[in-house]
Amino acid sequence: MKLINDAPDAPAAVGPYSQAVQTGNFLFCSGQIPIHPASGKIEANTVEGQTVQVFANIRALLASQGTDLSQVVKSTVFLQDMADFPKVNTLYEAAFAGHKPARSTVAVAALPLGALIEIEVIVEMK
């Protein structure tokens, strides 16, 4: 098992966990919330702005491991409000640019630091 603890362009973990763990050909990425890596804070206050930041964080984490969104095989989207699903879904589809990994979307009571969205991904490494 290989622990990946430092993706310099993604926000640091906000708890006692790794940003991602690789085992075999799979990279299991912890959920990303919309923390801006430079400020360490959630700057966007809309679900659209937060979704854009979440995908920027995921891209940075994947790039640090030599991969990208095209290799994602499964994602899980956590929403504070399921009414935001249509807005998120449009941005999600654009981020994956035609690639359609398996996905689950669930509504949750709350997310860390008051985030409106969190997304985790599993990647099959080349």
pLDDT tens sequence across 32-70: 999 999 999 999 999 999 999 999 999 999 999 999 999
Q: In one letter, which amino acid is 24? A: G
Fold of 2-124: 60s Ribosomal Protein L30; Chain: A; (3.30.1330)
pTM of the model: 0.95
Domain ranges of the chain: 2-124
